[in-house]
Amino acid sequence: MTSSLKRVPVPKNGVDYRGKVVLAPMVRSGELPSRLLALKYGADLVWGPETIDKSMIGTTKRINPVTSTIDYSRVSSNGGRNPSVPLKENNIYRLHPTREHGRLIFQIGTSSPSTAVEAARLVAPHVAGIDVNAGCPKSFSTSGGMGAALLQTPDHLASILSALVMEVGDVFKIGISVKIRLLETPEETEALVRKLCATGITGLTVHCRTTPMRPRERAIRDQLRMIAGICRAEGVACVMNGDVKNRNEALQLMQEFGVDGAMIATAAEANPSSFRSNEAGGLLPWREVVQEYMKIALDVDNKWGNTKFTLGQLIPGKAEVYRNVMGCKCYTQICEALELHALLDQAKDVDRRLDLSQSYDQAAVSNAKTMNKTAQAAGGRTSAERTLTSEDRHPLSERGVGISTVMAA
């Protein structure tokens, strides 16, 4: 007789992480246009950027009629002291209910079971899973007891996961997962993984670095087989993260270390066509990727600051157009700099909706003034006024005669 492996059931509205090559959660690089572009190029699943539970609580959910997205927004408190300044509505999270359907994992930053549940319930009807960030080493996360700080309190982390499984996963029929880092010793990592797998989660992602390690330091994979073995025994899908460069390498690493899936992070940030297999052509030229990104960013009215940041990752710093793009102040200017003429009309519409058209008008006036500086020289006369006709000009033989006479006197 052969015994079948244990497997935590994947809820009917959830998704199995097994056999998947996925986009890692990344602040700024995990916003909607980046996720949609990764899906276009072959990502099986996409993680959104870590979103703090308290920032979601109190948001207003609405269907955006222009972009067909679901937006979670709240009114900013900035400027509230001046009643003459209208309060600005800030978008906290945006997802596409059809283009991301069944493939989006919402990653939450939290340090509390109750606030985690409250925030997760808001987005649970529209995502395939909720993932707890227990690996971010940045101070903005750890200082609030979130991210990698949770690795120091495994019982508390387990309580957060258990609450999410019972009060969100079971209710909305989606999976709950967690993303961790390696601890200082294999024994500590093993104990942590066993504890977390016992909470009812469907997936566990391990970033193959310890908390103090920086991205430039080589990922440590010595513990992967041990972690994958524990997850397999408990029926939990195990996903690896750290220095995975493309789809083909991801599949090779999955087979080598016995893990169920792999995440691509910085490689996808630089070129999301890294999700394309070698058989499909592999990496695409950056110009083609940027053009596709711009189409998507305009389709979803992406935040201007995020679009500019992402272009700074996609366009090589040595490219001639890089400096021009980084100096742009609106979508219209970006399309002009990149010579995306077919997108200009749409860019102007987006600029108006995002209140960026004024920046374009001001830049146009500034450029006109710069171009006309020479023309305003010589007492304000334009170049046309200073141009002499053939009748006004003295023959070369007569030029300077008067001057030489005076100098000789």
Just list the catalytic residues: 136
Reported as type and span, the H/E element at residue 156 is: helix 154-164
If we measure between CA atoms, which residue out of 245, 241, 310, 318 comes closest to residue 282? 245
**Closest to 110 measured CA to CA, from 190, 17, 61, 176:** 176
Nearest Cα neighbor of 191 from 230, 229, 165 is 230
Q: Which residue type, as a one-letter code, is found at position 271?
A: N
- Cα 361 to Cα 225, 258, 357, 372: the distances in Å are 58, 57, 6, 17
Identify whether the C-beta of residue 153 lies closer than 8 Å to the C-beta of residue 198: no
Looking at the DSSP bridge assignments, the partners of residue 181 are: 207
- Kindly compute the dihedral angle of the four CA atoms of residues 317, 321, 324, 328, in this order, to the nearest 10 degrees: -90
Q: For 29-128, list the strands marked E by DSSP.
A: 45-47, 51-52, 60-63, 70-75, 89-95, 104-109
Tokens found for residue 382: 């334009």
Q: Which residues pair with 180 in a beta bridge?
A: 134, 206
- Take residue 397 and report the two structure tokens written for it: 């033989």
**Residue 17 is encoded by which pair of tokens?**
């992480």
Angstrom distance (rounded) from CA 203 to CA 122:
21
Q: Which residues contact 320 (CB under 8 A, 6 or more apart)?
A: none
> Which residues, in sequence order, are CB contacts of 1 under 8 Å at separation 6+?
none
- Residue 169 DSSP label: I
3-state SS assignment for residue 234: helix
- Beta strand pairing status for 129-134 and 175-182? parallel
Q: Which of 71, 151, 163 has its CA nearest to residue 116?
A: 163
Q: Would you say 227 and 260 are in contact if contact means Cβ atoms under 8 Å apart?
A: no
The span from the CA of 233 to the CA of 161, in Å, is 19
